[in-house]
Amino acid sequence: MKKYGVEHDPEVVEIVEVLMKVYWGDPREKLCEAIDSIPLSCIIVGNRGLGKLKRAIMGSVSNYVVNNGSCAVTVVKHHE
């Protein structure tokens, strides 16, 4: 919050629950597995901003989760 200059909002903090778990394996599959096993109502994933060629070769985790996840997915774009 300090890094981005965000003020504490007690109303938001009351409705948001943050959960952290560690999974091993392919991130695409594990994120979709986590959505179903926890279960999650929404998930926020990052995007590194890879170009089309790198994304085609390496695959896009965020794109996979958007298309295969069973909950709402918010993708946060990479910002320099």
Does any domain span residue 64? yes
For 48, the domain range is 10-77
**Cα(72)–Cα(20) distance, rounded to whole angstroms?**
18
Does any domain span residue 2? no
pLDDT digits (tens, 9 = 90+) for 38-68: 888 889 888 877 777 766 666 688 889 999 9
CATH number of the domain encompassing residue 46:
3.40.50.620
Contact 28, 66 (CB under 8 A): no
Does any domain span residue 3? no
End-to-end CA distance of the chain: 17
Does any domain span residue 59? yes
Answer yes or no: is pLDDT of 13 > 80: no
Model pTM score: 0.69
Answer yes or no: is pLDDT of 72 > 90: yes
**CA 45, chain centre distance (Å):** 2
Q: 70 pLDDT band (50/70/90 cuts)?
A: very high
Count of structural domains within the chain:
1
